[in-house]
């Protein structure tokens, strides 16, 4: 189950406990887009498909919008989950070369 506050703050529940959280803000540089920040899942809940489930729900809540995120290049697990959902690497993070910018166009959802 997912809850959201002001369409920006998301909490993901599993077995009655918060196990994940993230934030979505309207993009400042892409029209009809949101930026996904601080997407994370509690360590003991990883590797069980919960991250994909959480991501699916965040994507569904933002349907019709492009979703933009930034992920460290060395975070292979996260990149794999995002690519599986249809996100594409579009370049390096504009603030430095340590991270990729990834985007999911509104029409590209794979779940």
27, 33 Cβ separation under 8 angstroms? yes
d(CA 59, CA 67): 8
Percent helix, strand and coil across the chain, each rounded to 5?
Answer: 20, 40, 35
**Parallel, antiparallel or unpaired: strands 17-26 and 33-41:** antiparallel
Q: What is the pLDDT of residues 53-110, one digit of tens each?
A: 999 999 998 988 999 999 999 999 999 999 999 999 999 887 777 899 999 998 665 5
- Residues 1-28, mean pLDDT to the nearest whole number: 84
Return the higher-pLDDT residue of 19 and 6. 19
Domain ranges of the chain: 2-104
Q: The pTM is what?
A: 0.85
**CATH class assigned to 2-104:** alpha beta
pLDDT in the model for residue 2: 61
Phi, psi dihedral angles at 9 (to 5 degrees): -110, 125
pLDDT in the model for residue 12: 92
């Amino acid at each position: 189950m997912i809850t959201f506050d002001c369409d920006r703050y998301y909490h993901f529940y599993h077995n009655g406990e918060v196990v994940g959280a993230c934030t979505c803000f309207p993009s400042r540089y892409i029209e009809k887009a949101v930026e996904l920040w601080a997407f994370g899942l509690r360590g003991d809940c990883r590797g069980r498909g919960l991250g994909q489930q959480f991501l699916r729900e965040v994507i569904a809540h933002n349907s019709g919008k492009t979703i933009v995120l930034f992920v460290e290049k060395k975070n292979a697990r996260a990149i794999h989950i995002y690519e599986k959902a249809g996100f594409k690497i579009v370049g390096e993070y504009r603030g430095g070369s340590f991270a990729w910018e990834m985007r999911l166009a509104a029409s590209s959802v794979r779940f």
